[in-house]
Amino acid sequence: MIRFAAALIGAMFAFDAAIAQDYPTRPIRFLQGFAPGGNADTISRVLAEEMSKTFKAGFINEAKVGAGGNLASDAVAKSDPDGYSIVLFTTGHVISPALNKSLGFDPVEDFSFISTVSEFPFFIVVGADSRFKTIDDLVKAAREKPGTLTVGTAGVGTGQHMCSELFAVSLKSKFVHVPYRGDAGAVTALLGGNVDFIIAPGTAIFGQIEAGKFRALAVSGKQRWASLPNVPTIAESGAPGFEVLAWTGVATTKGVAKPIVDKLNTEVRRAIAVPTVSDKLKGLGSVPVSSTPEEVTEKVRSQVKLWKEVAEKAGLEKR
């Protein structure tokens, strides 16, 4: 009986390996959950273009917009486990469980994770004429009068929003969150003096800084940003150990044969390492970062736990 079971398992592995050897024989759906032209759309297209050089069957890029990227994740979670549907997921994938009573899918168990793709920090930014000249000024005001400073972000449940909540928790303070529809709305609000500060990625604010309209007070990563070496990290500025990095990754459906997942992982990592792809990712204000399937799975698991804890400490109610 034991020999029979071992033989059966061996046959299954051989079958999966044979399928993976021919994979893919038809185009792969590459979904992402945000508007065309945005970072997620751009990253998925850049990857698909490079990966098509190896996967000759090509890719069908599909924007399934809505619910902070969750519609795209849901579609892949419910796809056939054959490796022909993959998704570029963002930080929202690990934040959503903290803010939603029901997603319709399990953000960890319903996926076979392939690799991380990129990561990038957020910046705390004020207008050029703000009374806050340094991050220490803002921290002092936040601690003295909790619940009075307004922070603009790209929307409820975004990495920007949760970065602001973790920042407030770290300071034992509270901000008034003002959500907008994307980073552009937050930038416009700050230009108009409608909020005290915003939290946004570099791509949204670098131009305004260069134009002298904005001033960056701090960056959310562990290291200072190369092009803004005089801007301290939040960890240096009253919140030791603080780090928030938005990130993207690629996943497919749970149950996809491991040899196919491994093949996708090899190809994603190869694509990210290509200089033209790497340069395009850097041009979006991110740092190319790949991983093994096991590493990205653990990252998703730990981040889901982190943001649930932050939401609880911040008193955020699930929708």
Q: Tens digits of per-residue pLDDT, 134-151? A: 999 999 999 999 999 999
- 102-136: b (≥16 Cβ within 10 Å) or e: ebebebbebbbbbbbbbbbbbbbbbbeebebeebe
Residue 319 lies in a domain: no
pLDDT at 237: 84
Residue 98 located in a structural domain: yes
What CA–CA distance (Å, rounded) separates 212 from 93?
35
Residues 138 and 153 in one domain: yes
CA 169 to chain centre: 21
Residue 164 has pLDDT above 90, yes or no: yes
Same domain? 115 vs 125 = no
Q: Check whether 251 has a pLDDT greater than 60.
A: yes
pLDDT at 34: 86
Mean pLDDT score across all residues of the chain: 92
CATH code of residue 230? 3.40.190.10
pLDDT of residue 20: 74
pLDDT in tens, 167-188: 999 999 999 999 998 898 999 9
Contact 69, 258 (CB under 8 A): no
Taking only the tens place, the pLDDT of each residue in 29-66 is: 999 998 888 889 999 999 999 999 999 999 999 999 88
User: How confident is the model over 211-233, as a mean pLDDT?
Assistant: 96
Left, alpha or beta for 198 (phi > 0: left; psi -120 to 50: alpha)? Answer: beta
Tell whether 114 and 125 lie within a shared domain: no
Cα angle for residues 140, 189, 309 (degrees, 5° grid): 55
Instruction: Count how many domains the chain has.
Output: 2
Beta-ladder partners of 173: none
- What does 131-147 look like in DSSP terms, one character per residue? S--SHHHHHHHHHHSTT
pLDDT, position 294: 98
* In 52-148, beta strands by DSSP E: 59-63, 85-89, 111-127
Residues 146 and 158 in one domain: yes
Same domain, 182 and 231: yes
Number of CB atoms found within 10 A of residue 255's CB: 12
Q: Does a structural domain hold residue 210?
A: yes
Q: What is the pLDDT of residues 97-120, one digit of tens each?
A: 999 988 999 999 999 999 999 999
Contact yes or no for 88/69 (Cβ under 8 A): no
Rounded to two decimals, the pTM is 0.86
- Return the half-sphere exposure (C-beta side, CA atoms, 13 A cut-off) of residue 6: 3
The residue range of the domain holding 85 is: 2-119+245-314
DSSP string covering 138-197, please? Answer: HHHHHHHSTT--EEEES-TTSHHHHHHHHHHHHHT---EEEE-SSHHHHHHHHHTT-SSE
Is residue 230 located within the same domain as residue 261?
no
Residues 56 and 78 reside in one and the same domain: yes
